Structure 1
Amino acid sequence: MNIIKFGGTSVANADSISQCTAIIKNKKSQSLIVVVSALGGVTDLLLSAAVEASHKNENYRSLLAEIENRHMDAIRELLPATGQSGILSHAKRILNHLETLLDGCFLLGELSERTKDLVLSFGEVLSSYIISETLKAQGENCALADSRELIKTNSRFGKAVVNFEMSNLLLQHYFDKNKAAITVMPGFIAESEDGHTTTLGRGGSDYTAAIVAAALDVPSLEIWTDVNGIYTANPKLVKQAEPIHDITFEEAMELSHFGAKVLYPPTIQPILNKNITLHIKNTFEPDAPGSIIRKNPQAKSSNPVKGISNIDGITLVTIEGPGMVGVAGFSKRLFEVISKEGINVIFITQASSEHSICLGIVESESKKAKSAIDEEFRFEIQQQKIKPAILESGLSIIAVVGENMKNHQGLSGKMFSTLGRNNINIRAIAQGASERNISAVIDSKDVKKALNSLHETFFEEKAVQLNLFVMGVGNVGEKFLEQIQSQKKYLKENLKINVRVIGLANSKKMHTDEDGIDLKEWKSLMANGAAANPGDFISEIKSLNLRNSIFVDNTASDDVAGTYADYLKNSIAVVTCNKVACASEYTNYKNLKNLSRQYNAPFLFETNVGAGLPIIDTLKNLVASGDRVHKIQAVLSGSLNFIFNNFNEENSFYDVVKQAQAEGYTEPDPKIDLSGIDVKRKLVILIRESGYEMEIDDIENNSFLPQESLDTTIVDDFFESLKTHAAHFNELYKKAAAEGSRLKFVASFEDGKANVGLHFIPQCHPFYNLEGKDNIVLFYTDRYADQPLLIKGAGAGAAVTASGIFADIIRIGNK
């Protein structure tokens, strides 16, 4: 004998029911029991109609009409026209009974638990009748059995307790006599011993099938639903989740208890002791393997974690006070009062000091729980021995589950470090002695990020997903996006880093897509993006709350640099080519570095000095290894080096600066480069990264620009001043040429003093042959005292700057 059960989504409409009947007929080689749920969504409609009626809201009539139409439409689509009349009439009589009940709720203005169970039963009564008649019309030997006559319970309406001894006898007796090839039964519903309709709890159709399977001692049970089994995590929240093909009863119970909605938790209980295999299959993909739940799974996995699940809508109830310590019977009183109120405790944790106990319960029962606890311990509260119960709502429980977790060290550390890295605050922790489950209470807003982070840690260790939010899509930004697009496949296949651009923004517009932006279309998406500013962008990033989030700043904006602290405080990494923040007041620079450490959020700015050259990274490694920097000499401006290398008797200073701007070597305002401000910023960053405290104003600037050029406030005026003072620049060139020297803008640091300025570099100097837009840095240290450590290469340009940003992204992915 085979037993199969179809859930509400599997029998949602005529098309779905046709899919079910095809599966049923394919399995009829043995006698078959088919347990069915109500049509998808009908139970909710019935409950809403009953509540509306009890509140004297006439809207219940339109809900009743919707319920009637759905069932009548299903009959008309599933059954031939010649056989519809009697079936429609019978269904109408059932619906008339329902209408009478709802009218009674309306007239009385009340809805008892007993009446609610009776109203809710109509969904399964109607669906089982329609499916059985459909099978008969298709020529099948089919009978309809009323579960209320075969499964007996107590009178705890809403979630009745089964009398297994009586129910087993009734089921065995019925199926000993029943000779039909197919028997259809309504799930979810039963009957109390005094003859009233009861229900087995939402999702109780699974339970019905398990009760029948255990009573008849069948070898296996199939539950057909709309997914391919139990997943490693909720596939609606974790897109990388995969079906678990083989799982133990205990693991399945843990996962179902903690929110794996594909399986109703009590389902396991009747079949566990009988060692009945449970197979979960997808009605709409019948050839998919699904999940098999059994005592000894055949498929062995090296991963001790089987799945990650969650329960939302949790309130944490905390009872604390010195009057609890060492007091025998305190816990007994607490749990007795909770039990008397019929409140289910989902989560328990107690400090070893006995100073506090935390209980996790569903949010809807929190006020009732607090009232009962405060009343029970009124005397202790008045004596200030304990505090009134404290409620914290808006929480969720996440659980990591696996039968073999107890045999592996470090799993809890791995779990909590993953949550910590992603700024997910843990309110409470619980772990059973069996070590099959590690649970934590977190804010509900962090659930999606927590599940994805943990899933990545335990199931996707070979690939790290980085979620980028890019501010600035000009020269550097555009090149950066091009590089991401071209290298995305390589990074995933070779470095196991999956880079997704989730958000793009500039000073006016932004566009975000939680599933990742198609970089082939980013320009059109930005053109049609929402109006925005830096504050809007960070608000959007925080609301998305994605794991491994990285903010990428491709601008030179003071306003954008001012937002870094907010990102870091939310454990969002910052990668920037914008020098403003690191060259600002020393206290701000140190604060950003401290925030990065405190919130475990990388703050990388390699491109602040030398574009794509590994200058800062090399310097960090020197300092970290115990070396000490004494002296720095450098040409730090690729744009100024380009300008002075191309400035000669044939090319005017104005024309060369214009060329440098056009080719993207200068800042949007070239005066930032030519005035020495940009080089001062770079030098102060190197000094600070060397371990010295210095403000940018402490650096002497020997500017070569005329005062009129320095005083300009508009870019066009600045360029005009270069024309006006052409003779000044020509004189500098002639003087250097006469000495056999070349013009280089040099940055220097030694003995706590720093300066930048234009130098005449002789042929014997390492800077003399510095060509094009190259940078060069000389570090004199304890280890490099006689011959300095030299770093040289292209130090300007959108492409090399973008590659430096890209390198910082990869550093984060490789951490």
Structure 2
Amino acid sequence: MKVLKFGGTSVSNTKNILKVEDIVKKESLKNRVIVVVSALHGVTDQLIKAAESASQNNENYLQIIKNLEEKHLDLVKELIPILDQSSWLSFVKKHFNDIEDICNGIFVLGEFTDKIKDKITSYGEFLSSNIIAARLQFEGLDAVWMNSSENIITNSNYTHAKVNFEATEKNLLQFLNENKNQMIIAPGFIAKDEKGNSTTLGRGGSDYTAAIIASAIDADELQIWTDVSGMMTSDPRLVSNAKPIPEISYAEAMELSHFGAKVLYPPTIQPVMVKNIDLRIKNTFDPEATGTLISHQLEKINPENQQIAVGISNMSHITLLTLEGSGMIGIPGFSAKLFQCLSNEKVNVILITQSSSEHSITVAIHEKDIFKAKNAIDLAFEDDLKLKKVEPVKIENHLAIVALVGENMKSRSGVSAKMFGCLGNNGINIRAIAQGSSEKNISIVISEKDIKKAVNVLHEEFFESEIKQVHLYICGTGNVGKKLIQQIYDQNEYLKENLLVNLRIAGLSNSRNMIFSDQGILENEFEDFNQNSEEASAEKFAQEIISRNLRNSVFVDVTASSEVPNIYEKLLKKSVNIVACNKIAASSDFENYKNLKNIARNHSCRFFFETNVGAGLPIIGTINDLIRSGDKITSIQAVLSGTLNFVFNNYDGSQPFSEIVAQAQKEGYTEPDPRLDLAGTDVARKILILAREAGYALEFNEIENESFLPEECMKGNVEDFYKALFKYESHFKNVLEKAKNDGKILKYVAEFKNGKAKVGLQHIAPESDLFHLYGKDNIVIFKTSRYSEQPLVVKGAGAGAEVTASGVFADIVRSI
């Protein structure tokens, strides 16, 4: 014999009830069945709303009742043959008259007690089950209606009545012996106490009714039919990649349901677990789907053959209450006193954690219980508070619980480290932790605003290890930005296949516009970027990144803006990784530079800026490797400006110097303002960054800059700059001829030695390592404790949008 339970969505309308009918017909061909049904979808809430309105002297309750009556009358007209409708229409009208009478009494008295609440809410299941039973009978099926409230006996704890299993089992077995029908239709949720008063088993209690019946009759299987295809690895409303769980143990199912898995009412499992009855969760709207099997047989499977966790559940609207004080240490009874006062107020404690010193104890409860919980604690510990043995109870609101559940966690080491590590790397602060000695569950309390991010991070770590989802926010869509974006689109399939990483461009911004998409901005959407965007600013872009709070977020700055680096600190504090092509931050005041690096370290995120020096060349990475391995850098000699190298490699006096500079800008080698390159500002920033990365506390104004530009070239705007360059052509020819006459060439060189740095134009002899440097190439020559006689040289293309973009791309991959 099997017990089938159908929830409110499964019986919400005629169309769905006919689906239920088909399922029941098929099952009854093989087994005798008991069918437990909920009220029509939303009916219980509306009955409560009507009663509450009546208690507040709001006559709107009459309209609510009328609407519910019409809903049930329409159902009778659609399900029952027209010649037989009269008696059932009268049946519905009679009971809604009773409901109205009860609400009239509430209206007069202004009182809505739990006892009355159980009475009025019992009508929902009573009506739906009778109408469905009548439908099956008129279809010629061997069906009979069973009144659950006459057979399930409880105490008088209204709204959450406790079942008398001995009396209930006796009644149910007697009913089965007296009624041999192939189908028995019963209302869920409702029962009666020993005095005959209506009681209910708690919201979601129809599941529990079905489990009570299954246990009492030793059913072969209990089936819970709902609107999803079984239990999921996580809430699909939060995690798009949530997967059905095909099989799960009783203990795992109980943990998941306790911490918020809505598909199953938590008390349901206990009655069938005692009798080792399999429980299967099925989808009314996809009956062929396998669903989830909850079985005692799974306890016997070798854990080494199973995955670590089976699912993640979450619960919102949580409050933490903390009782602490020196008077609690070593004194027995404080915990008992706390739990007793909460129990007296019917406050459910969801999670408990206590310091080993016994100085404090923290409990998690529902936000709705906060006022009565605080009042109860204040009253219970009134004397202790006066004597300063304990502090006033500390209250923290707007929290959530996330639980990782799995039988096999107890047999695997490092699960907690893996869990806390991935959360920490995404900036999710854990307020409290609880882990039972059975190790089936690790529960954490976090901020409610982080719940979606946390659940997705954990789901990716434990259930989607094959692909890591990374969200990129790119600021800057100029030459380098466009190349970078195109490289990401072109290379993403390779990254998915070979590095198991999926890069998703979740936000784009330039100085005027910005767009966002949590699902990723498609290539064609980028092409129409300016047409489908909103007004941008660096601050607005940062706020949007923070508010979206997506896992594995990386902010990429490919601008030369002095405004954008101002948002770095804010993003790093939210554990957003930063990849910067922009040199402003790393070359700013030393304290700011160190502060940003420390914030990144303290918030478990990355701050990478390899392309600040040498575009895609591994210069900063090389310094970091040397320092980490214990080497010490004693000097640096470098040509760090691809622009200046290009200019002086191509300037031979046959063309004006201004034309060579304009060509460099056109080919993308210069900064947006070429004066930053030619005045040595950009090179000075680069040697400053290298010195800092080598471990030296150097400021920008300490760098000696020997400029070769006439002062007039630095005045006005970029157009004025080019005019001045042309005007002083003779000056540049003189500089060139002087070097030629010495048999040397011009190179703009940066040097660092003995803690001091300088930049300037130098005459380079043929025997120098700097002589054979062509086009836009950069070169950096390191002398270190280990490379003292033969220096370490890094050489290659140091400018150009393509190579700079590839360097940024490499930093992005390193950051994740």
TM exceeding 0.5: yes
Q: Which residue of 2 aligns with 1:343?
A: 347
Worse-superposed segment, 182-191 or 597-606 = 182-191
Shift of 1:86: 4.1
Residue 529 (structure 1) aligned to one of 530, 533, 537: 533
Secondary structure of the 1:755 match is: strand
Structure-2 separation of matches of 1:5 and 1:303: 30
Deviation at 1:531, TM superposition (A): 2.2
Question: What is the aligned partner in structure 2 of residue 657 from structure 1?
Answer: 661
Alignment map for 1:122-271 (pairs within 5 Å): 122-271=123-272
The whole-number CA distance in structure 2 between the counterparts of 1:77 and 1:609 is: 76
Tell me how far apart the structure 1 counterparts of residues 97 and 59 of structure 2 sit (CA, whole Å): 17
Partner residue in 2 for 1:323: 327
Q: Deviations over 1:468-500 (max 9, x none)?
A: 111122222222111111111211111011222
**TM-score when scaled to structure 1?**
0.96
Match of 1:762 in 2: 765
- Is 1:741 equivalent to 2:733 in the alignment? no
Partner AA of 2:9 in structure 1: T
Deviation at 1:443, TM superposition (A): 1.5
SS in 2 for 1:155: coil
1:61 and 1:537 mapped to 2: Cα distance? 51
Look up the SS of the partner of 1:190 in the other structure.
strand
Q: Per the alignment, do residues 126 and 483 of structure 1 end up closer, same or farther by CA in structure 2, a change over 3 Å counting? A: farther
Size of the aligned set, in residue pairs, is 812
For residues 107 and 647 of structure 2, the distance between their equivalents in structure 1, rounded to whole angstroms, comes to 87
Q: Shift of residue 299 of structure 1?
A: 6.8
Residue of structure 1 equivalent to 2:791: 788
After TM superposition, give the deviation of residue 80 of structure 1 in Å.
5.3
Tell me: CA distance 1:729–1:212, structure 2 relative to 1, closer, same or farther (3 Å): same
Task: Give distance in 1, aligned partners of 2:526 and 2:81.
Answer: 54
Gaps of 5+ in 2: none
CA contact (8 A) 2:252 2:440 kept: yes
2:318 — aligned with what? Answer: 314
1:505 has 2:509 as partner = yes
One-letter amino acid of the structure 2 residue matched with residue 171 of structure 1: L
Aligned partners of 2:449, 2:226: CA distance in 1, in Å? 28
C-alpha distance in structure 1 between counterparts of 2:173 and 2:696, whole Å:
85
How far apart are residue 96 of structure 1 and its match? 2.9
- Tell me if the contact between 1:395 and 1:442 (Cα under 8 Å) persists in the aligned partners: yes
1:562 match: secondary structure: helix
Q: Answer yes or no: is the 8 Å Cα contact 2:557–2:581 preserved in 1.
A: yes
Whole-Å separation in 2 of the counterparts to 1:530 and 1:114: 56
| Residue ranges of structure 1 left out of the alignment (5+ in a row) | none
Matched ranges for 1:424-435 at <5 A? 424-435=428-439
CA RMSD of aligned residues (A): 1.9
The verdict on how the C-alpha distance between 1:382 and 1:25 changes in structure 2, with shifts beyond 3 A counting, is same
Distance 2:741 2:90 in 1: 111
Range that drifts further, 605-614 or 31-40: 31-40
Question: What amino acid is aligned across from residue 284 of structure 2 in structure 1?
Answer: T
**Cα distance in 1 for residues equivalent to 2:531 and 2:100:** 55
User: Take 2:416 and 2:480, find their aligned partners in 1: how far apart are those partners?
Assistant: 42
Q: Which amino acid aligns with 1:634?
A: A
Deviates more, 1:420-429 or 1:533-542: 420-429
The aligned counterpart of 1:17 is 17
Instruction: Report how far residue 230 of structure 1 moved.
Output: 1.5
Q: Which sits farther off after the overlay, 586-595 or 499-508?
A: 499-508
Q: What is the CA-CA distance between 1:576 and the residue it aligns to?
A: 0.6
1:612 match: 616
Give the CA deviation at 1:119.
2.1
Using the TM superposition, name which of 22-31 and 272-281 deviates more: 22-31
- SS of the residue corresponding to residue 67 of structure 1 reads helix
Q: Distance in 2 between matches of 1:467 and 1:668?
A: 28
Contact 2:306/2:408 (8 A) holds in 1 = no
Query: Residue type of the partner of 1:602?
Result: R
Q: Is contact 1:504-1:526 (8 Å) kept? A: no
Residue in 2 that maps onto 1:679: 683
Who is 2:499 aligned against? 495
Distance 1:525 1:109, change over 3 A: farther
Aligned partners of 1:646 and 1:656 also within 8 Å: yes
Identify the residue that residue 394 of structure 1 maps to in structure 2: 398
In the aligned structure 2, how far is the partner of 1:638 from the partner of 1:666? 8
> What CA distance in whole angstroms lies between the structure 1 residues aligned with 2:531 and 2:777?
35
Distance in structure 1 (CA, Å) of the matches to 2:678 and 2:139? 87
Task: Give the equivalent residue in structure 2 for 1:601.
Answer: 605
Structure 1 CA distance for aligned equivalents of residues 78 and 804 of structure 2? 65
| 1:32-51 pair list within 5 angstroms | 32-51=33-52
**Among residues 442, 457, 476, which one is paired with 2:446 in the alignment?**
442
How far apart, in 2, do the equivalents of 1:660 and 1:84 lie?
89
Mapped to 2, the partners of 1:592 and 1:150 lie a distance apart of: 69
Post-superposition offset of 1:214:
0.4
Where 2:401 maps in the other structure, the secondary structure is strand
Alpha-carbon distance in structure 2 between the residues aligned to 1:299 and 1:91: 51
For 1:458, the equivalent position in structure 2 comes to: 462
Cα distance, 1:434 vs structure 2: 1.4
CA–CA separation in structure 2 for the residues paired with 1:699 and 1:74: 85
Shift, 1:185, TM fit: 1.3
3-state SS in 2 of match to 1:570: coil
Q: Give the TM-score of the pair, scaled to structure 2.
A: 0.96
Query: What is the letter of the counterpart of residue 810 of structure 1?
Result: V
3-state SS in 2 of match to 1:744: strand
Q: Deviations over 1:335-377 (max 9, x none)?
A: 2222221221111122222222212111111211121121122
Q: CA deviation at 1:738?
A: 4.1
Matches within 5 A, 1:336-735: 336-712=340-716, 714-735=717-738
Q: Could you tell me how far apart the structure 2 residues matched to 1:745 and 1:58 are?
A: 87
| Alignment partners' CA distance in 2, 1:63 and 1:416 | 49
Letter paired with 2:760: G
Rounded Cα–Cα distance in structure 2 between residues aligned with 1:659 and 1:88: 89
Deviations 1:158-203 (A, max 9, x none): 1111111111111111122223222221111112221222111111
**1:326 Cα offset (Å):** 2.1
CA–CA distance in structure 1, aligned partners of residues 23 and 450 of structure 2: 40
Instruction: Report the residue type matching 1:226 in the other structure.
Output: D
Q: How far does residue 525 in structure 1 lie from its aligned partner after superposition?
A: 4.7
Cα 1:475/1:52, change in 2 over 3 Å = farther
Corresponding letter in the other structure for 1:157: Y
Give the whole-Å Cα distance in 2 for the aligned partners of 1:81 and 1:524: 60
Closer, same or farther in 2 for the Cα pair 1:63/1:607, shift >3 Å?
A: farther
Counterparts in 2 of 1:40 and 1:664: CA distance versus 1, 3 Å: farther
| Alignment partners' CA distance in 2, 1:723 and 1:610 | 29
Counterparts in 2 of 1:216 and 1:773: CA distance versus 1, 3 Å:
same
In terms of mean alpha carbon deviation, does 673-682 or 750-759 score higher? 750-759
Tell me by how many angstroms 1:5 deviates.
0.9
**What SS is found at the alignment partner of 1:445?**
helix
1:406/1:763 CA distance change after superposition, 3 Å: same
Q: Per the alignment, do residues 148 and 421 of structure 1 end up closer, same or farther by CA in structure 2, a change over 3 Å counting?
A: same
Once residues 209 and 791 of structure 1 are traced to their aligned partners in structure 2, the CA distance between those partners, rounded to angstroms, is 73
SS at match of 1:520: helix
8 A Cα contact 2:610 2:616, kept in partner: yes
1:363–1:393: 8 Å Cα contact kept in structure 2? Answer: yes
62-71 vs 464-473, which deviates more?
A: 62-71
SS in 2 for 1:296: helix
State the distance in 1 between where 2:766 and 2:729 align.
Answer: 26
Does residue 292 of structure 1 match 2:297?
no
Deviation at 1:81, TM superposition (A): 5.0
Given that residues 352 and 363 in structure 2 are in contact (C-alpha distance below 8 angstroms), is that contact kept between their aligned partners in structure 1? Answer: yes
Instruction: State the shift of 1:652 in Å.
Output: 2.4
